[in-house]
Amino acid sequence: MIITTRTFGAFLLGLMPVLALHSYSARAQDNVAPQSVSDTVKPVDPFAFGDFTWLNGNDRRHTALLDSKYFTGEFLLDVNYTASNQHPIDHTVSGSTTLARDNEFEVNLVAAGGDFHYDNVMGRILLQLGTRATVVPRNDVSTFHGQYDLATAYRYFSEGYAGYHFDVWNGINVQAGIFMSYVGLFSYYNAENWSYQPSFTSDNTPWFFNGMRVQIFPSDKLKIEPWIINGWQSYAKFNTGPGFGGQILWRPTEWFQALSNNYYGHDAQDVPDRSRFHTDNSIEVRYLNNPGNKGLSKAAFSITGDLGDESGGGVNGFHSDPVLGPAQFFVSGMFYNRLWFANDHIGWTFGGGFIHNPGRYLVLAPTGMANPLPIYTTTDSAGQHTFVANPTFGAPGSEFTGWDASTTFDWMPDDYLTWRLEFVHREASVPYFAGPGGVTSPDGYIGTPIPEGWAPDLVTSESRIIAALLCRF
């Protein structure tokens, strides 16, 4: 892999706006020094100076119940019931990594594990079951590179890594394994988020990385974290070179957080000269705080903006060219506002976002496109029902624009349980969401013979009600 001057310059440009802010990532439940570091004359633990449980994408628990000297246990349960105005015959939800089934009770996630800590040695494992163990890995087709079934081998780990803590500055952690990606602000775990269905920005960017990271804490308010990884949410590599990236996190005070996440890699199957660049930047501001208030007790907002492109191998980044190929890029944004009432026991969130992704290289392909492999490309001539996309190539020359809006109500009797009710509306510029005819077969069942001329029933919009129970110890 050759890193060009353009690539390196683009990477620095992605970092510079937030370097000025010394920014931060919010999907970071593991971004503090391990509990077992000696208590004798040690620096202040990173971000321990304030209460950051208000953040979108962050652990809202004040205390871990399953704690001990050498191991801090963790258990998550996420169950939902969701209903679309389209009522697809196959009960399939399209275009989401959080939802899988419509008009049914769904066990989205059951996760168990925790953190090991002894002296400066650390390790984390969180095993996962539920529909998310299928919905998220299906978008990674790097597992078809070579032999062995990596999708099965890895899919039951949401996190699994080990590392060592160095007592330098406010701490340096060197870790290797599968860890959360941070990109897109929302956490992989819905118990940490202000809403259930993430906006397009989060749902179309990575949830995990497989590789190595170094967490550097120059102070208790700043984290700098480089990554060397296999690729963009990929268990394996598509080509010979690894992906590179990093996160910068800044919390100068309890009411403000900024982040920047940046990535560069080669993630197109059999197209090693196609490069991908992505920058993701967010701020979160708590603009009201009245602890113990029985009325409005807290208020905060988050703003996120993403920008990226693919260049080479037949596509040309932000500009179409008759020789180099069509434009293939990604621009998106989202805004959410959160209000807490009754001493933080009731929450109300409203917001949404947009996506513009010519080439569709990051758009989640609609599920079940009559193809047993997770390469959901259809080329039949059924007109508006056909959605052309391939998660390893995209669809050069095609267009995709979408927007969404949601409102969410939470009842939180304590730090460990959330009852959630949400309404979300999503729109796309092309038929994309599962319509009444579903996306699986004429009767909605896998294995049913597909008659000539049948195609998935895709529509340009959907409205959905989501009810969820979120438990975390």
For the stretch 168-182, pLDDT in tens is: 999 999 999 999 998
Number of other residues whose CB lies within 10 A of the CB of residue 141: 21
pLDDT (mean) for 215-242: 95
How confident is the model at residue 383, as a pLDDT?
35
Domains in the chain: ranges and CATH: 5-472 (2.40.160.10)
Q: Tell me what the pLDDT averaged over the chain comes to.
A: 87
Query: Of 19 and 65, which is predicted with more confidence?
Result: 65
Q: How confident is the model at residue 447 (pLDDT cuts 50, 70, 90)?
A: confident
* H/E stretch holding 6: helix 5-19
Q: Which segment of 169-178, 183-192, 438-447 scores lowest on mean pLDDT?
A: 438-447
How confident is the model at residue 372, as a pLDDT?
34
Per-residue pLDDT reduced to its tens digit, 92-108: 999 999 999 999 999 99
The SS3 call for residue 8 is helix
pLDDT of residue 368 exceeding 70: no
| Angle, CA of 88, 92 and 95, to the nearest 5° | 110
Q: Pick the closest to residue 242 from 254, 226, 229, 261 (CA basis).
A: 229
- DSSP string computed for 412-434: EEETTEEEEEEEEEEEESSS-EE
Query: What's this model's pTM, rounded to 2 decimal places?
Result: 0.86
Query: Of 391 and 118, which is predicted with more confidence?
Result: 118
pLDDT of residue 193 exceeding 50: yes
pLDDT of residue 369 exceeding 70: no
Alpha-carbon distances, residue 218 vs 48, 223, 258, 276, 328 (angstroms):
14, 7, 16, 30, 37
Number of other residues whose CB lies within 10 A of the CB of residue 287: 11
Q: How confident is the model at residue 414 (pLDDT cuts 50, 70, 90)?
A: very high
Report how far residue 150's alpha carbon sits from residue 141's, in angstroms, rounded to the nearest whole number.
10
